[in-house]
Amino acid sequence: MTLDQLLERPTEWIASEGPHGKIVLSSRVRLARNLRGHPFPEWANRTRRQKVLDIVMPAVAELPAMKEHFAATMDSLSALDKQLLVERHLISRVLSARNHGSGVVINKEETISVMINEEDHLRMQAVRAGLQLQKVFRMIDKVDSELEEQLDYAFSPRFGYLTACPTNVGTGMRASAMLHLPGLVLSNQMGQVIQAVNKLGMAVRGLHGEGTEAQGNLFQISNQVTLGEKESELLERLDKVVLQIVEHEENARLTLLEKEPNRVYDQIGRAYGVLRYAHHLDSKEALNLLSLLRMGVDLELIPASGRAMVDELMMLSQPAHVKRAAGRNLGARERDVWRAELIRGRLRELAAPALDKQPAPPQSEEEAA
Amino acid sequence: MTLDQLLERPTEWIASEGPHGKIVLSSRVRLARNLRGHPFPEWANRTRRQKVLDIVMPAVAELPAMKEHFAATMDSLSALDKQLLVERHLISRVLSARNHGSGVVINKEETISVMINEEDHLRMQAVRAGLQLQKVFRMIDKVDSELEEQLDYAFSPRFGYLTACPTNVGTGMRASAMLHLPGLVLSNQMGQVIQAVNKLGMAVRGLHGEGTEAQGNLFQISNQVTLGEKESELLERLDKVVLQIVEHEENARLTLLEKEPNRVYDQIGRAYGVLRYAHHLDSKEALNLLSLLRMGVDLELIPASGRAMVDELMMLSQPAHVKRAAGRNLGARERDVWRAELIRGRLRELAAPALDKQPAPPQSEEEAA
């Protein structure tokens, strides 16, 4: 299928709501694999990278999970195409900087993507809505097993799968969950949470992974260790940590609503008001305001139909998606005008009468008892 | 009449729209007068101030223009009452700091108010909507002439009316117009305008006169000179200057709309969105956003019914007015919550569908021809 056909379909993990979907947007597992007897991409010349691509790409494209797919070599994609795939988390920024000898294969639901000659010969990922790490792992594990029947992986009985970067050696697995944590941010608790999570051997990162800033109150929690533990154990530990953060976030929101209800209503009301009527929105402001709107849905200040709308707008208001919607190249200011119009148009369908009211006065402890 | 009765009536210059009412909110003329043979208030002891008050107050109260009036000595008013009168521009901050021996008489339309023992024995003002300085002068001139029949004014054939501060000697007149200049502010032209106006011997001040900051893009333009020119000449000069500023403001708005239409729509849209949905607004932010909304009415982005609403909200969202509406003493945060609720409630009746649309693309010169 073409890139246009792929992008016109709703992304599975955005259109559906998974377990703990209020706070956990998605779960993702990726495996790093390499072919025996071929140099890692960074050390391979163009001919040798092309050779790996020629072996791997057809093998991936023929997998049952990839029955309908989009496949492309990186040199065949425009800068805009690449940026679109990055914004949809279907390829990494590292792959988007590659050209000859690298490629990607993505299934039509956008739940499985296999990058070829990124940092490793193969980087395969599965993603689903909500917190379901084990299920996502089984999806990608199946892809991996089927590929292993055809490809000769670099594997050491002692270390496990060999990878270009030693931090991936062993399982070659990085599992992550994308969390929406406005309550912890608003109550200034994210610093503590990050420290605690780091101590448990997990990393907290921004929207686009390593080295990116947290925007829209979105955080990726992922495992650091790939060696010395079984996949199932790693996933179980990550799952527990995520569940704890979810609980913290829920508590933070309840406390905010109880102690500073007007502040919560104010933040969500202003976000709604600005998104509904602004004529100029940059992508960072849009994402931050959409994040507050999403919390508004969770707190029932915005109708439930708003959640899918907000999640879609979070994706569609990214720069490359706005350019694509405009159908032509736009300067930054023009893009901000288009983005604002897109969001205004959608939000017109989303009335928020609950935001007119004052928050109910908090019950006293006596009344609550 | 009681203060409550006075405040419950709409203020004439807010409820009606005068000449050039889009940009000129009100015209005001005040005269300073003193009684011969009595020391100026600052130099008078309590007994002597009381004596002046006892002479002047009944004389003012019995004027035909004051048929129905509110009259009070300053010591009989609470701090909140005084602040309410200041916010309505019916007394000055100087008078509000006075107690024994000072007072005020205000007619029921709030178009005439006479302060007794402020800086001078009498400070009488008239105010009307829009630009109509001559008419306002005739109103207060009539009051002055009628009072002069009963009171013995300190007058020098050489200098004119004598006043406590030499800057008022002569006519004792200060005429001013309150202008709404968001276009000049948004296009960074206010500095130039202030310089030019100063060169013409006029002063530019903020919302509450001398020494106050410009908020809500509101500026008072007034004469500096009181000596050596007839009242009619002074008023004519001020009128001309104001008309020039009005023209500059109109041009600034047109230029903004032509060159940066999205910026204009964005500013007005955001102002509407925040006022419509915020749950926490301090008085400064409220005034600044209401100012943008008022410009939105002028530019027909907000329905015409919005102008009176905005002008009323500009008054009602001031701190003492919010306290009064709440019927009890409020802390600053509580006041901000009340203010936001008041404004949300009103704006619910003011739909702004024009803000949904994109500004029309500017006509090219050919098309316009």
Q: A244-284 pLDDT, tens per residue?
A: 999 999 999 999 999 999 999 999 999 999 999 999 999 99
A355 — contact with chain B (CB < 8 Å)?
yes
pLDDT value at B362 more than 70 = no
Rounded CA separation B106/B116 (Å): 11
Q: How high is the mean pLDDT of chain B?
A: 91
Query: What is the pLDDT averaged over residues A302-329?
Result: 92
- Could you tell me the pLDDT band of residue A367, with boundaries at 50, 70 and 90? very low
Q: Tell which wins on pLDDT, A13 or B139.
A: B139
- Minimal CA separation from B261 to chain A, in Å: 9
- Nearest residue of B to residue A264 by CA position? B279
Residues 265-284 in A contacting B (C-alpha not used; CB under 8 Å): 265-266, 269-270, 272-280
| A171-189 pLDDT, tens digit each | 999 999 999 999 999 999 9
Q: Which two tokens stand for residue A219?
A: 């955080």
Parallel, antiparallel, or unpaired for β A69-73 and A202-205? unpaired
In sequence order, the 6+-apart residues with CB closer than 8 A to the CB of A51 are A38
B279/A340 Cβ within 8 A = no
Taking residues B283-290, what's their average pLDDT? Answer: 95
Across the interface, which of B278, B341, B356 has its CB nearest the CB of A344? Answer: B356
The C-alpha of B276 sits at a distance from chain A's nearest C-alpha, in angstroms, of: 7
User: Looking at residues B42-67, what average pLDDT do you find?
Assistant: 95
- Residue B141 tokens, joined: 């001139």
pLDDT at B357: 85
Distance in angstroms (rounded) separating the CA atoms of residues B146 and B19:
28
Mean pLDDT of the B197-205 span: 91
From the list A277, A333, A345, the residue facing B273 with the nearest CB is A277
Looking at the predicted structure, is the pLDDT value of residue B364 above 60?
A: no
Q: Check B358 against A277: CB less than 8 A apart.
A: no
SS (H, E, C) A288-314: HHHHHHHHHHHCCCCCCCHHHHHHHHH
Residues of A in contact with B296 (CB under 8 A): none
pLDDT reported for residue A363: 47
User: Are A358 and B279 an interchain contact pair (Cβ–Cβ within 8 Å)?
Assistant: yes
Are B280 and A266 an interchain contact pair (Cβ–Cβ within 8 Å)? yes
Question: Do A277 and B262 count as a contact with CB atoms less than 8 A apart?
Answer: no
Q: Considering only CB atoms, which chain A residues are within 8 Å of B355? A: 277
Residue among B265, B278, B352 minimizing CB distance to A266: B278
A213 — pLDDT class (breaks 50, 70, 90): low
Nearest to B111 by CA among B91, B90, B81: B90
Helix, strand, or coil (residue A127): strand
Residue A262 with chain B: CB contacts under 8 Å = 279-280, 337
Radius of gyration of chain B (CA): 22
Joined tokens for residue A162: 């060999």
Dist CA A227 CA B167 (whole Å):
86
> Is the Cα dihedral B288, B293, B296, B301 positive or negative?
positive
Question: Which of chain A's residues have a Cβ under 8 Å away from the Cβ of B337?
Answer: 262, 358
Which CATH number does A3-252 carry? 3.30.590.10
Q: What is the pLDDT of residue A81?
A: 96
**Token duo for residue B295:** 């410009």
Least confident of A60-64, A304-308, B69-73: A304-308
Whose CA is closest to A174, among A225, A134, A212? A225
- Cβ contacts (< 8 Å) between A341 and chain B: which residues? 358
* pLDDT for position A358: 83
Rounded to an integer, the average pLDDT of B272-299 is 96
Nearest by CB: A270 against B277, B341, B359: B277
| Chain A CA closest to residue B281 | A266
Nearest Cα of chain B lies from the Cα of A336 at a distance, in angstroms, of 10
Per-residue pLDDT, averaged over B80-106, amounts to: 95
Please tell me the number of Cα atoms within 13 Å of B234 on its side-chain side: 23
pLDDT of residue B322: 94
Question: Sheet of B103-107: strands edge to edge?
Answer: B69-73, B103-107, B112-116, B122-129, B24-33, B173-180, B218-223, B202-205
Query: Which residue has 């005040």 as its token pair?
Result: B30
pLDDT at B366: 45
Which of A265, A280, A356 is opposite residue B348, by nearest beta carbon? A356
* Calpha distance A277→A303 (Å, rounded): 18
Under an 8 A CB cutoff, do B262 and A272 touch?
no
What local confidence, expressed as pLDDT, does residue A368 receive?
42
**pLDDT above 70 (res A7):** yes
**Residue B297 burial class via C-beta count within 10 angstroms: exposed 0-12, middle 13-18, buried 19 and up:** buried
Model confidence at A360: pLDDT above 60? yes
| Among B107, B99, B68, B101, residue whose Cα is nearest residue B81 | B99
**Number of CB pairs, chain A paired with chain B, less than 8 A apart:** 70
Q: Which tokens sit at A224?
A: 């650091």
Q: Distances in Å between the alpha carbon of A165 and those of A41, A62, A121, A162, B322?
A: 11, 28, 12, 9, 64
Contact A269 B262 (CB under 8 A): no
Model pLDDT, residue B167: 85
Mean pLDDT, rounded, for B255-276:
95
- Please return the burial class of B155, using the count of CB atoms within 10 Å of its CB with bins 0-12, 13-18 and 19+: middle
Measured between CB atoms, does A286 come within 8 Å of chain B?
no
**Is residue A341 classed exposed, middle or buried when 0-12, 13-18 and 19+ CB atoms within 10 A define those classes?**
buried
Query: So what's the pLDDT on residue B212?
Result: 56
Type of residue at B205: R
Q: Taking Cα atoms as reference points, which of A282, A315, A320, A287 lies closest to residue A82?
A: A320
Mean per-residue pLDDT for B263-268?
95
How far apart are alpha carbons B84 and B95 in whole angstroms?
A: 13
Residue A153, pLDDT score: 96
Sequence ranges of the domains in chain B = 3-252, 260-357
pLDDT digits (tens, 9 = 90+) for B109-143: 999 999 999 999 999 999 999 999 999 999 999 99
Residues with Cβ within 8 Å of residue B82, at least 6 apart in sequence: B74, B91, B96
* Best CA proximity match to A10, nearest among A232, A255, A308: A308
Mutation target to probe the B interface, by most B beta carbons within 10 A, among A266, A275, A302 is A266
- What are the structure tokens assigned to A115, written together? 């990058």
- Distance between B292 CA and the closest CA of chain A, angstroms: 13
Output the DSSP codes for A134-167: HHHHHHHHHHHHHHHHHS-B-EETTTEE--SSGG
| Interacting residues of A225 by C-beta distance below 8 A, sequence separation 6+ | A201, A234
Option in B273, B340, B341 nearest A278 (CB): B273
Neighboring chain B residues of A330 at a CB cutoff of 8 Å:
none
Nearest to B132 by CA among B17, B253, B10: B17
Phi, psi of A93 (to 5 degrees): -65, -35
Q: Residue A211's pLDDT is what?
A: 55
Backbone phi and psi for residue A73, each to the nearest 5 degrees, phi listed first: -85, 150
CB contact under 8 A, B262 and A273: no
CA–CA min distance A181, chain B (Å)? 22
Least confident segment among A333-342, B29-38, B324-333: B324-333
Q: Tell me if A137 sits within 8 A of A231, measured CB to CB.
A: yes
- How confident is the model over A136-160, as a mean pLDDT? 95
Helical pair A332-347 and A306-316, crossing angle rounded to 10 deg: 170
Residues 239-268 of B with CB under 8 A from A: 262-263, 265-266
Cα–Cα distance measured from residue B55 to residue B22, given in angstroms and rounded to the nearest whole number: 41
Sign of the four-CA dihedral B14, B17, B23, B28: negative
Q: Which pLDDT band, with edges at 50, 70 and 90, does A316 fall under?
A: very high
Task: Provide the pLDDT confidence category of residue B213 given band limits of 50, 70 and 90.
Answer: low
A251-261 residue pLDDT tens: 999 999 999 99
Nearest CA of chain B to the CA of A185: how many Å?
20
Find the CB nearest B269 among A272, A278, A359.
A278
Listed by number, the residues of chain A in 298-337 with a beta carbon closer than 8 Å to a beta carbon of chain B are: 333, 337
> Residue B168 and residue B353: Cα distance in Å, rounded?
50
The stretch B34-38 carries a mean pLDDT of 96
Q: With 90 as the cut, is the pLDDT of residue B197 above it?
A: yes
Mean pLDDT within B215-242: 90
- Select from A269, A341, A352 the Cβ nearest to the Cβ of B279: A269
User: Packing angle between helix B231-259 and helix B261-277, nearest 10 degrees?
Assistant: 100
Residue among A262, A347, A357 with most chain B CBs within 10 A, to mutate? A262
Contacts of B263 in chain A (CB under 8 A): 279-280
pLDDT band, residue B227 (cuts 50/70/90): confident
CA distance A204 to A143: 27
- CA A328 from chain centre, in angstroms, equals 26
Is A337–B262 a contact, with Cβ atoms under 8 angstroms apart? yes
Residue with more model confidence, A167 or B290:
B290
pLDDT in tens, A15-58: 778 999 999 999 999 999 999 999 999 999 999 999 999 999 99
Confidence at A212, pLDDT banded by 50, 70, 90: low
pLDDT at B210 over 70: no
